Amino acid sequence: MKGKSGPSNNASRSLYKDKEKPTQIRYSNITAAKAVADAIRTSLGPRGMDKMIQSSNGDVTITNDGATILKQMQVLHPAAKMLVELSKAQDVEAGDGTTSVCVIAGSLLDACHNLLAKGIHPTSISEAFQKASDKAIKILQGIATPVKLSDRESLLKSASTSLNSKVVSQYSSLLSPIAVDAVMKVIDPATASNVDLRDIKMMKKLGGTVDDTELIDGLVFSQKTTGAGGPNRVEKAKIGLIQFCISPPKTDMDNSVIVSDYTQMDRVLREERQYILDIVKKVKKAGCNVLLIQKSILRDAVSDLALHFLAKMKILVVKDIEREDIEFVCKSVGCKPIASIDHFLPENMGSAELVEEVQTGTSKIVKITGMAIPGKCVTVLMRGSNKLVLEEADRSLHDALCVIRCLVKERFIIAGGGAPEVELSLQLMEYANTLTGTEQYCFRAFAEALEIIPFTLAENAGLNPIATVTELRNRHAEGEITAGINVRKGAITNILEENVLQPLLVSTSAIHLASETVRSIMKIDDIVMCIR
């Protein structure tokens, strides 16, 4: 008997272990991902806290942008890394709501934890969450209000809602119009279905305050003009962008030339001078009076002698233009990059009303304005008193630009302040009552999980979260779809009166991406280490 029972006991033990392991893996994944979500929960909303992140090389970043925080955090657990990827995906898709998407995912994982403890199978949870997510997006589309791009007021409200939760929220009245105007200038509102944010160049300059930030309908170079006594202001400019060097040519091999007497030396110098003068004369002959020179790696892009000649011929020079900026410059000015002096022809040049050197703070910049053919490109000159504020202002403005981009993609807005989440929660609960079995449980859990957003907003604003969410739920049950948490007054009000609006795409994308990530985590039942 003993001989027979031994193997069967072992088999039953190993079977038991196999059942135990997936559960532990799931709980471990849920705990790790929730820890990441909890880490950034405190930075949600207008009263959210900021995080100071110090990297290994000593660089410090102060931000409350979810994607930035997670990108800089060194997350080791693979499931927690999925949340980092999630915020990155939201950043790409919508640009805003990167903190919200992680908080929702954390809350959904918490709901999964409870459902698993009740003995519901992970696949059932996963499928129910997929249906709940689709239903939620339909409900959101039902409560959204269409918006026209000509309705500047609504666009400004949406941009300032995005900026209200940032470090630079006190400047939202200045940065919102900049974001709206920048996007409107680079698209055709009638036909546009997306915005290429690369057409909006962000230029950061230390000095001054965020108040001094301006939108320039044209092009700005951070470097000053490099003319030895040449002009620093040119009207009716003819602009040439060259990719060749105006300096003595170098041979392909390393070699040295021995000059034995002064006449040979004089001849070398004279020929070098003649070579450069010929190039400069051809530039002048084409009618060019502003020369932009691409940065060169192999040798000097422009020699001192060439600068001297160019200054004599009253040509304004800007050198060291980065290779990646070439496309933007060409698009803005309407010129073509010129690779050799033979192609330096008038038709390859762009034109502008004014090119001038301007003093900003401690340094100078070159501004090009009044393009003959507006290339639908603009530059935002960001100013800030220190590096940390400047970088955060840049990130905040990028989020505001993304909000306007969302409205161009899907021209619908919904209320903010936790209102859509509570409305979703209520409507999903009602819908859950029509279902049966485990699906009903899962729908209820999904609906309750969405209340984390108003709960966290209230918590971060110093209100009583339970009392606030309960009141909010009651107001929505009475039919007030736009009732939300008014952080300024610390009460529940009609959030539209406070001008708190957000694009539909931000919320639908957040719910869709969060539920997708949670489903992926639920489907994992083992982690296999692979040694290479």
Domain ranges of the chain: 19-146+417-523, 148-215+386-410, 218-374
Point out the catalytic residue in the list 68, 98, 360, 517: 98
Asked whether residue 320 carries a pLDDT value surpassing 70, the answer given is yes
State the amino acid at position 37 in one-letter form.
A
Class of domain 19-146+417-523: mainly alpha
By mean pLDDT, which of 71-85, 95-109, 213-227, 476-490 is the weakest?
A: 213-227
8 Å CB contact between 239 and 352: yes
Contacts (Cβ under 8 Å, ≥6 apart) of 406? 94, 95, 96, 503, 504, 505, 506
Confidence category of residue 11, pLDDT binned at 50, 70, 90: very low
> What 3-state DSSP class applies to 1?
coil
Distance from C-alpha of 381 to C-alpha of 358, rounded to nearest angstrom:
12
CA of residue 302 relative to chain centroid, distance: 36
65 among known catalytic residues: yes
- The β-bridge partners of 373 are none
Query: What's residue 93's pLDDT?
Result: 86
List pLDDT tens digits, range 115-124. 988 888 889 9
Point out the catalytic residue in the list 65, 96, 181, 199: 65
Buried b (16+ CB within 10 A) or exposed e, 202-219: bbbbbebebebbebbebb
Q: Under CATH, which number does the domain 218-374 receive? A: 3.50.7.10
Query: What's residue 259's pLDDT?
Result: 80
Segment 462-476 shows an average pLDDT of 91
List pLDDT tens digits, range 162-172. 888 888 888 88
State the amino acid at position 418 in one-letter form.
G
Query: What's residue 426's pLDDT?
Result: 92
Query: What's residue 127's pLDDT?
Result: 92
Q: In this structure, how many other beta carbons lie within 10 angstroms of the beta carbon of residue 49?
A: 12
Confidence category of residue 216, pLDDT binned at 50, 70, 90: confident
When computed from its CA atoms, the radius of gyration of the chain, rounded to whole angstroms, is: 30
pTM of the entire structure?
A: 0.82
List pLDDT tens digits, range 326-374. 888 888 888 888 888 888 888 888 888 888 888 877 778 888 888 766 6
8 Å CB contact between 435 and 449: no
Distance from C-alpha of 423 to C-alpha of 480, rounded to nearest angstrom:
9
Q: Under CATH, which number does the domain 148-215+386-410 receive? A: 3.30.260.10
Point out the catalytic residue in the list 399, 468, 508, 517: 399
Asked whether residue 413 carries a pLDDT value surpassing 60, the answer given is yes
Contacts (Cβ under 8 Å, ≥6 apart) of 502? 96, 97, 158, 161, 162, 403, 413, 414, 415, 416
| Cα end-to-end span (Å), the chain | 46
The closest alpha carbon to 96, from 418, 461, 508, belongs to 508
SS (H, E, C) 202-248: EEEEEECCHHHCEEECEEEECCCCCCCCCCCEEEEEEEEEECCCECC
99 among known catalytic residues: yes
199 among known catalytic residues: no
- Angle 319-322-325 (CA atoms, 0-180°, nearest 5)? 115
Query: What's residue 358's pLDDT?
Result: 83
Instruction: To the nearest 10°, report the CA torsion of 257, 260, 261, 267.
Output: -20
Segment 159-181 shows an average pLDDT of 86
98 among known catalytic residues: yes
SS (H, E, C) 43-85: CCCCCCCCEEEECCCCCEEEECCHHHHHHHCCCCCHHHHHHHH
- Alpha helices, H only, 297-386: 304-312, 326-333
Q: For strand 233-242 and strand 337-338, is the pairing parallel, antiparallel, or unpaired?
A: parallel
List pLDDT tens digits, range 249-284. 777 677 777 888 888 888 888 888 888 888 888 888
Point out the catalytic residue in the list 61, 63, 99, 213: 99
Query: What's residue 489's pLDDT?
Result: 83
Q: State phi, psi for 77 to the nearest 5 degrees.
A: -70, 130
List pLDDT tens digits, range 50-75. 889 888 888 888 888 888 888 888 88
- Alpha helices, H only, 51-209: 66-72, 78-93, 98-117, 122-143, 152-164, 172-186
Question: What does DSSP assign to residue 348?
Answer: G
Percentage of the chain surpassing pLDDT 90?
17
Segment 446-455 shows an average pLDDT of 92
More confident residue, 140 or 167: 140
